[in-house]
Structure 1
């Protein structure tokens, strides 16, 4: 497949490349040529995958395989990526998804997610996962090769009603994607304003979580100021920055105006299972779909 205008995850490209990884890029490029089910991607994209895996080639191949296969097998989550579609706008209306403007002292980016409308009947879980992944793709483009991410989920306003809106297939695919296919370095996941029914939430999620992700989780009954420096936070949380709603609206506008065409175009980033050479084998994708019981990575 020929390179398209958007054959990479960076709207404005990735330059300059980190030095000293030409050999790793070439190894991945040669491997991808032998995998006809995978789409053509630019060196920028390969660099993102390598960076997220600390430049380890074997792990990078696995991430690439997961990334494109999950996107092919869960169209509910990875198609209809136009931020102006009514169902996507509905999610952006009831949530705040923001990247805080400043990084931590270590250079980590901080992402904050919360509900802005507490009416659980307005939540479609698969739509929420789709928009969450769209937002994260925009952040990967904006941030280039981030040192790492700290994620804050503010559970204020979450109710048992919201829990009833969770659909297991979408949750399972989302957890597989975040853990195996999402090309970023995760440093910590803070769940703040923890709800009384957090144990029920964890019963639902825990079977889907690898131990290394479990180790990143931190729960706090207090607000974000209990987990990151207050200087990084919006005024809603006692910090010096503009309120969360303002940051959300600015970043939403960026998604709708600057990234809309790119997000729609990124629907092409998926495996073509008809072209897959190797037959599935047990293991890798057993929990993702009944069609795909596993894949081999050379």
Structure 2
């Protein structure tokens, strides 16, 4: 695995400009002066943050700081992430994920829940799985897309979801997705939206930035409104498209997660340095996640 990553990094070096290389070096130097930040961030991960911030150095610094602050303050989402544990295996069985590229240099992040009645669904465990799958994606993927699109299938969502909802976790998760993840989020689509979706959306709307709420589009069952944003052929075959099935693409996601299992067993992975606690507190004071 390490040889593959090394080879990709070399290829990436050939593609990026000299100016970008200088920016990566500048950020690397900045990281060395921040005693609380981990020093093992690969250049390709730094580049991903830089790209997500449209190569704005100061914005990239803020995003990196927030990325680690949220992780430090979310042990319920970042710890206990063994993909072979019973709890994680259960979560991986009831939710299917797909991460793939489409025309226009866009990434699709697809989430499909398969739990009628929500008998097995655990909101916190699902959020923990989200963090894990995103980390695995960053570790294995080197493509820098121009745009990221989220598609969520709400076919099995019922009003019972309200009893599963955790506001504290939702706040951290939304902050992480909106401002800390090194992606260029542009669209969010909820397909097979139930009639009561407004009630569920009401739970989330107060903790979402207006910029994000404006990205969200709801599509009722059997409608074709999604095709105004995403070509039908760019959807999985399950949804009438030409992409591989959700089962196939979910297996790819799970395989990548399993390849990184040793990383996820490390409870200190992508966390701030303990020896820099005072500096960390001073630096993080202005980064409010509530």
**Normalising by the residue count of structure 1, what TM-score does the alignment of the two structures yield?**
0.84
224 and 153 in structure 1: CA distance in 2 versus 1, 3 angstrom threshold: farther
30 and 223 in structure 1: CA distance in 2 versus 1, 3 angstrom threshold: farther
With 243-252 and 107-116 compared, the bigger mean Cα shift is at 243-252
SS at match of 2:193: coil
Alignment-derived partner of residue 119 in structure 1: 117
CA–CA distance in 1 between the matches of 2:46 and 2:250? 30
CA–CA distance in 2 between the matches of 1:12 and 1:114? 33
SS at match of 1:189: strand
Alignment-derived partner of residue 21 in structure 1: 20
Preserved contact between residue 175 and residue 289 of structure 2 (Cα < 8 Å): no
With 225-234 and 177-186 compared, the bigger mean Cα shift is at 225-234
With 134-143 and 217-226 compared, the bigger mean Cα shift is at 217-226
CA shift, 1:267, in A, is 4.1
CA shift, 1:42, in A, is 2.4
Preserved contact between residue 38 and residue 270 of structure 2 (Cα < 8 Å): yes
Q: Deviations over 1:145-185 (max 9, x none)?
A: 22221110111110111221011111111111111211111
Preserved contact between residue 148 and residue 184 of structure 2 (Cα < 8 Å): yes
Alignment-derived partner of residue 137 in structure 1: 135
RMSD (CA atoms)? 2.4
214 and 11 in structure 1: CA distance in 2 versus 1, 3 angstrom threshold: farther
SS at match of 1:279: helix
Map 1:146-295 onto structure 2 (within 5 A).
146-222=145-221, 226-227=225-226, 228-256=230-258, 258-265=259-266, 267-272=268-273, 275=276, 276-277=278-279, 279=282, 283-285=286-288, 287=290
Preserved contact between residue 134 and residue 263 of structure 1 (Cα < 8 Å): yes
Alignment-derived partner of residue 42 in structure 1: 42
SS at match of 2:31: helix
CA shift, 1:222, in A, is 4.0
The count of residues paired between Structure 1 and Structure 2 equals: 277
CA–CA distance in 2 between the matches of 1:56 and 1:178? 19
**Structure 1 unaligned residues grouped into runs of 5+:** 288-298
CA–CA distance in 1 between the matches of 2:153 and 2:7? 31
108 and 11 in structure 1: CA distance in 2 versus 1, 3 angstrom threshold: farther
Alignment-derived partner of residue 107 in structure 2: 109
Q: Deviations over 1:131-151 (max 9, x none)?
A: 112112223334312222111
218 and 266 in structure 1: CA distance in 2 versus 1, 3 angstrom threshold: farther
37 and 281 in structure 1: CA distance in 2 versus 1, 3 angstrom threshold: closer
Preserved contact between residue 13 and residue 44 of structure 1 (Cα < 8 Å): no
CA shift, 1:113, in A, is 0.5
**Normalising by the residue count of structure 2, what TM-score does the alignment of the two structures yield?**
0.86
CA–CA distance in 1 between the matches of 2:169 and 2:180? 15
**Structure 2 unaligned residues grouped into runs of 5+:** none
Alignment-derived partner of residue 292 in structure 1: none
